[in-house]
Structure formats: structure tokens, C-alpha cells
Amino acid sequence: MQRLISTPPRRGGKVPARGEQQGFASTRTHLPGTASASSGAVEATRRPLEGIRVIDFTMGWAGPLCTRTLADLGAEVIKIEAIQYPDWLRGIDRPPGYVDCQVYERMPCFSIMNRNKRGVTLDLKRPEGLALAKRLAVGADVVVDNYSVDVLPRLGLGYDVLRMLNPRLVMMSMSAFGADSRHRGCRAYGSTLEHGSGLPSVVGRADGPPVMSHGAFGDPVGGLNGCAAVLVALIHARRTGQGQFIDLAQIECMMPFAAPWITLHSLGVAPPIRYGNRHPQFVPHGCFRCAGQDNWIIVAATDGDMWQRLATLLGRPDWAADASLRSPEARRGIEDEIERAIEAWTLTRDADQAMSEFQVVKIAAGVARLPIDLLKDRHLGSRAFFQEVDRAFVGVHPQPSMPIREGRAPYAIGSAGPTLGEHNEEVLSGLLGLSDAEIAQLSRESIIGTKMLSGGKFAKATKESRVCQSKTNA
């Protein structure tokens, strides 16, 4: 998963017996200046990572989610893009109309994944842009990228270079397969990683093909694992004054999903079968249609007593009284009939009404919510989970809060994702001390900018940059 060169995992652990206390539990120490569990709440006005600066060379979902989580926790995150090749979450294709109308600024997903960050544009293929990126990286606490493993080293921004200039630097490479993999140069999306983990092979109907999730689990799983790795490395840096390199293989972050089947198969158990919405231990277990359009509910009987209550609610006292049906193995033989009875009952009820009736008699049930329904969810509403955020080109829109909070209220979302190059002057002048004239020159040469280049403009800018570079070299 994540390989931290200075804080490797402890080897030789074992699964503790029930009630057993692990020896290392009492040897943990707290960081200087941080609150222990017994010292009360952390000061409400200060977030855990305030004072930490992160340079963000990521795009898509996995990397930006990692750095966004750091930003939500208070870190100062500076996202680096280029007008020639911006974050593809703004849109993969860039025909002239798409670019000229700045449709790439209207992507809510980009705004959500990159909130609480400042954004600058730097063409890393140009010496001037590369030099500025290097200055930003050297002055940071953390650098994160999710390119293939050789991209930053080829640019002269590898850890071996940057650590000589900043020994406290934590640098993480979030590649698909890891730095020492035979596939080290391969790129991948979250869907690639999900298939590579084996997870789709156990999802879907028994008579159908493997099924991938619509959301591509590989991205958020890799992003959150990456955030955890950075936090560990920051603790180490605070204790020792030494940074380190983190080699994260996103494919390995998916392994916990497949671990149960890997273990069972290695013990000689038959290869896993796909159950669809059914379950290997619980009968019944499934998704059932309710009254109305596209309304569904999940229902499960997890033990014999729950099964009897379910049978009674369905108007089948004969099933409830049949002692042989208390075991899920016996119920498996009439599973089709049980499912038909459940759906005949749920079809006469609204999903929320059905859930309430199930839960009143202590039967496991939950409505399969549509995403739009979550905005009206009473639980999420009571926790003020959604926050209204205003962004240029998008307008006011809801964003989910960070699920971690220190008090009753969630961390406030300070800003939506930046527009392209929104903070060029603020960062280049305020942090690096560039003059207005220098910034204007960078803009004229398309080393920085605030508007994406379309195919034709990109080719022209590339040609002009080569001419400028040849004159400089001459």
C-alpha cells in the first residue's frame, strides 16, 4: 500500500485474542503541542494542520481527494496546473467551443475535489515554470503527485533533489502500481485499479459477468490511504526533523476489499461465487421494489429470531412457526419464494414507510436512496453535513462536509475549487516575491495563465515556447 522509507510497518503482529491487550498500546507518546485524549478538545479556532504547506501536483480524483482532505484539516494547499494541460477533472477534451466558453470552469466535481486550495498555473516543460515549481516545492512541508513514477524525477523535481534542499520535506508519489513494480511506468484510472484488485469478480449475479462499481472505488480508496500516509510522515517529521519519501501503490490500497477471498481461497475453500444482492450467510438479503418510480429498500434477516419476525410481518405465520426454517441453509431452498413474498409486501408501501414498519419490529432494513434524496436526509440535515458554497461559473451549490469533526459543527468550507490560475499573482508575488513585470512576462509567454489553451492555441504556444527557449539557449 504505502511504503514510508523512514517509518516502515511493524512486522510479526498477530490477531489479538478476545480481551487481549496488545503490548504496544501503552507505549505510545503524544506529539509536543498536540492535545491528548484526556486534555480536552483542541482549540476550536485552530485546525490540526494549520501551518503546514502542501504543493499539489495531482489531478483527477485520488490525488486531489488526498490533498483536499489535508486542506480541510487546515493545511495550506497550492494546486499546480498548466493552461496547456490542466487537471483532467475539468474535462478531458478541449475543442475550441469548450475552451472559449470556459466550460471547463463549470465542473462541480472539480470544485468539490479541490476546495480550500489555492490554484496556480505553471508550464513545467519550460525552464521558467519548472524553476518556480521547484522554489514552491522546496519551501513546502509536503509535496504530492499522482503522475506515473518517473514524471517528476525527469523534470528535476524528484525526492533525491528536493530533500537536499529541504531535509524536512515529506514527498509522496501516488502512482498506480508503485515505484518498484514491473508496471511502474503504467498509468491507470480508478476503474483499472478496481478490476486489478479482484473486487468485480465477486460482485454481480451468479449467472452474469463481473461487475464494476459505477464510482470506481480505486480513486477514493487511494486518496484516503495517501492522506493517512502523509499524516504519519508529518508526525515523524515533527518528532525527528526528518522528512521522507512515500511510495504509494494505489492498486495495493484496494487489496483489503479482496483480502477475505484471498485468505479463504488460500485455505482451500472453493473460489468465490457471485451472489448478486443475496448474501452467503443471511437469507433473505436483497433489494426490493417499493411503491412509486425507482423506489427500493434493502432487507436482511440476520438470525433466526429476525426471520420469524419478518415472516410474521409478511403474513406467513406458517413460515414463522416452522422450526426447520430458523437456519439460513434451510431458507436457501425457498429463497426465491421468500423474495417474492417480500416484494409483494413492499410494492404496496412507500420506501420510507416500509423501512419504518420493518425497523419497528427490529428487522434490518434501509431505503436505497437516490443521490438527490441525500440533500433532504434528516440525519445529514441534523448534522449540517451539506454546506452552501459559491463559485465563479458554477454559482451557489451544496458540498459535503468533511466527515471528521472536533465539535458539533463540521469544519467550514472556506472556498470552492480555484478557477484556472486564480491565485497566480497571490502565490508568485506573495510567496516567491516576483514583480508585476515578471508575472506579466510569464503570462505573455504562456508559462502562466488563467484560460485553458485549445488544441490550436496549444500548438501555437508550444511552437512559440520552443523559439523562446532556442533564443535563450543561444
The enclosing domain of 354 has a CATH number of 3.30.1540.10
Residue 172 lies in domain: 2-9+36-253+404-468
Mean residue pLDDT across the chain: 88
- Half-sphere exposure of residue 70, counting CA atoms within 13 Å on the CB side? 33
Quick one: average pLDDT of 366-378? Answer: 94
Residue 35: the pLDDT is: 31
Alpha helices in 278-363 (DSSP H): 304-313, 317-321, 328-332, 335-346, 351-360
Helix (H) or strand (E) holding 263: helix 255-266
Cα angle value 25/27/28 (rounded, 5°): 80
Cα 353 → chain centroid: 34
229/336 same-domain check: no
User: Tens digit of pLDDT for each residue in 126-172?
Assistant: 999 999 999 999 999 999 999 999 999 999 999 999 999 999 999 99
Whether the Cβ atoms of residue 446 and residue 123 lie closer than 8 Å to each other = yes
pLDDT (0 to 100) of residue 91:
86
Q: Is residue 28 part of a domain?
A: no
The answer to whether residue 395 sits within a structural domain is no
| pLDDT(218) > 80 | yes
pLDDT of 78 above 90: yes
Encode pLDDT of 159-208 as tens digits.
999 999 999 999 999 998 888 888 877 778 888 888 888 888 888 888 89
Query: Is residue 347 within 8 Å of 289, Cβ to Cβ?
Result: yes
- Shared domain for 248 and 333, answered yes or no, is no
Distance between CA 159 and CA 227 in Å, rounded? 18
pLDDT, tens digit (0-9, with 9 covering 90-100), for 10-58? 666 666 776 666 554 433 333 333 333 333 333 356 899 999 999 999 9
pTM: predicted TM-score of the whole model, two decimal places: 0.85
Cα(151)–Cα(157) distance, rounded to whole angstroms?
Answer: 9
Residues in contact with 62: Cβ distance below 8 Å, sequence separation at least 6, in sequence order: 146, 174, 190, 218, 219, 220, 222, 223, 226, 250
The yes-or-no verdict on residue 106 having pLDDT over 90 is yes
CATH number at residue 102: 3.40.50.10540
Same domain, 41 and 185: yes
pLDDT, residue 27, reads 38
The helix (run of H) or strand (run of E) holding residue 32 is none
pLDDT of 469 above 80 = no
Q: Are 393 and 419 in contact (CB under 8 A)?
A: yes
> Do 410 and 350 belong to one domain?
no
**Is the pLDDT score of 271 beyond 70?**
yes
Distances (CA, A) of 302 to 305, 347, 353: 8, 22, 21
Is 390 a domain residue? Answer: no
Whether 240 and 313 share a structural domain: no
Sign, Cα dihedral of 434, 424, 130, 57:
positive
Tell me, yes or no, whether 57 and 178 share the same domain: yes
